[in-house]
Amino acid sequence: RSEAVRVGNLVLNVWMRIIRGLHHAASLCDARAWDEAVALYVGGSSQYMLYALAQNYCSDFGTCNDDSIAIANHDIMEQFELGQSIIQETPFYGCNATYTTTLDGK
């Protein structure tokens, strides 16, 4: 039980930090800040970062795609790449749309 609480707390706090980073990046059209938010999702060697957690559990919950990549990871990485390209190619006034588009998945 304590492990579930610890991991749940970590996941929720990291997710909110990622959302804050994406919002900050979109509001400033800052590609570096966007990259930092994505890096926080992907993590490094930690098995508790969100990308790794989705990978670890996708086989348990049947949410892996044919390439054994968690569908959640595949989908969010596509949205992260879309957001990055919009930030790099869009004038300042259009960057806030990136944030909304990425979170809504549209």
Structure tokens at 47: 């098995």
- What number is the average pLDDT over the span 24-40? 89
Q: What is the pTM of this model?
A: 0.77
What's the rounded mean pLDDT across residues 66-81? 95
Phi (first) and psi of residue 70, to 5 degrees: -60, 130
- Alpha helix (H) residue ranges in 1-106: 2-28, 31-42, 50-61, 71-89, 95-104
Give the tens place of pLDDT for each residue, 57-67: 999 999 999 99
CA–CA separation, 38 and 13 (whole Å): 15
Asked whether residue 89 carries a pLDDT value surpassing 60, the answer given is: yes
Of 16, 14, 34, nearest to 24 by C-alpha is 34
